[in-house]
Structures are given as C-alpha cells and as structure tokens.
Amino acid sequence: MLQSLILLAISIATRKALSKLGNQMSELNDQQNLPANESEFLKGECTNCHGHFEFPKSGLGEIVACPHCKTSTVLIATTEEPIAPPVVIKSELALDAFKTSDGEIFGHFIKSPSQEYLLVWSDQWAAGHPRTKGPFYLFHGKDEICKGQIQRPNDGQVADNGSFIFCDWLFTQNLSSVFYAFNRCGEVLVEKKLRANLYNAAISQDGLFAACQTAVNNDSRQGELLTLFDLTLRKEIWHINPPFCPEFYEFRTRALELIIRGCSPVYKACVLNMVPASKG
C-alpha cells in the first residue's frame, strides 16, 4: 500500500513536471508562431541532471527550465530503446611517407570523403620531440595547397570543400587542448581553447559544420562537453553536456540536425538541432 502510494506520488509529480514543461513549450510555440505538432512528441533528457521528459518536436534546440532540476537545458531528443553497444569501426588512420615542400614527412594521413583532398600531419611529441610543433599539409590531388604547424596535431579530418580540423593535444600534462578548424587556404576558421582534453572531433562532409567532444575534467565545466561550430560564420553555435559520449557524428546539414551515436547502453542515438538555441 505504502509502496503504491509512493509510486502514485512520483507519477503525479512527474505529470505535474511534464505539464509544466508542456505549458512552457506551448508558450514557446505561441511566441514564435511555430506550428504546434501535438502528434509528434520526442523523448528528451536534461543535459544537466539527466532527468527525462517529453516535448513537441518543434521545440528541438530550445532552452527551457528542466522540470526536475530547474536549471536551463537544451531540448535534445534521445531514442529510448536499450540496445547492445554498437561495434565501433573507426576508419584506421594510416601512416606513410609523403613528399612535402619541407622534404619527406612520415605521418598520419586521411582523405576527404570525395578522395579529392589529402591531409597529412605528424605529432612530434609522439615521435620523441616533446617541444617541436607538429606540421600539417593539405594536398589537392598531387598539389600541396597549404601547410602549417600546431603543437600536437591529432585526429585530423578533411571535408569535401577542403576545410579540415585538428585536435591539438598541446605540450602539457594539464587537462587542456585546442580545437582547430581551417579552410583549404590554411586560414583558421575556429580556434577553441578547452580546459579539458579533447576526446574526439568531426567535420561535416560539406565542411559547413564541425563538432568536438572533451573528456572528463572534474575541475572544469568544460569537461564532457560537446561543442558545435558553424564554419561559415566561424563561430560556436552551442555547447552542451550530451547524455552520452559521441563516437559517431552524423551531420544532416539540410535538416540542420546533428545525430550522435555512442556506446551508451541506454540510448541508440541523440538528435541535436544545429541552429543556435534561442534564449527561452
């Protein structure tokens, strides 16, 4: 009896919380004249306390007060079916020697999805030179079209428009890093210093968006942070603490959606809106 009373209380509390959020959401819809699609509700999770709630699909990306912890959270959708962790198949980065304008370089390389561009880099720390900056080179076909240096280039990726990204692991044992995005001329599009180590990063196939994820740093709010960048505007769109650590990034540029997948035992994927969240 007591148990069922407690369950009932929890159920009522949850309903109240949901109806409060629902009210906020319908207010948001009214304010922005968005078509309220009552039939399409998504399951979401607070990016702060990880409490669960539902919201209309039109609210994706909005900032609302969490019904559980009351702090503001971005409305993101999570799929609920518990599934076995996906088999992680990362394209193996290969090592090879390349002829560059600085002579022969032995380094990692990766090609753009179209195979048109080739990005080569060498982390000198890993090669036993802890204070030597790591060079990188971008080739278009056989032509080297730009080059540069950062402290410790890692996790390079190049898009079909020649824009490319790096996680700079820096010459330090402190938990810090820099995320870089460059255009095909080697100009810096984004340089984001982070007080945590970078876990991974990705660039959209068309080169219009990029995202990076940091690893744990309990002494900084920038730990376990997912940051999205608009490379055309050369600025950050938003940052959140995602419900799980992304291993795969799927940029749907047309729909302005970013889908992340990871090894979460709970969530299959998380759908994020790539437009800046309006302050609710």
Smallest distance from the beta carbon of 64 to Zn ion, in angstroms? 10
Q: Pick the closest to residue 34 from 55, 13, 15 (CA basis).
A: 55
Rounded to a whole number of angstroms, the minimum distance from the CB of residue 30 to Zn ion is 24
User: In the window 168-197, what residues touch Zn ion (CB under 5 A)?
Assistant: none
Shorter beta-carbon distance to Zn ion: residue 22 or 162:
22
Q: Report the C-alpha gap between 254 and 234 in whole angstroms.
A: 19
Closer CB to Zn ion, residue 66 or residue 272? 66
Q: Which is nearer to Zn ion, 74 or 158 (CB)?
A: 74
Of residues 13-72, those binding Zn ion (CB under 5 A): 46, 48-49, 51, 66, 68-69
- Shortest distance, position 113 Cβ to Zn ion, whole Å: 37
Look up residue 259 and give its two tokens. 């889908």
Taking the least distance from each CB to Zn ion, the nearer of 125 and 267 is 267
Task: Find residue 181's DSSP bridge partners.
Answer: 165, 190
* Residue 68 C-beta: closest distance to Zn ion, Å: 4
Q: Which is nearer to Zn ion, 46 or 60 (CB)?
A: 46
For the CB of residue 253, give the shortest distance to Zn ion in the complex, in Å.
Answer: 30
Taken as a whole, the chain contains a residue count of 280
Least separation, in Å, of the C-beta of 258 and Zn ion?
A: 21
Judged by beta carbon, residue 17 or residue 145, the one nearer Zn ion is: 17
The count of chain residues that interact with Zn ion, using the rule CB under 5 A, is 7
Q: By the criterion CB under 5 A, which residues form the site for Zn ion?
A: 46, 48-49, 51, 66, 68-69
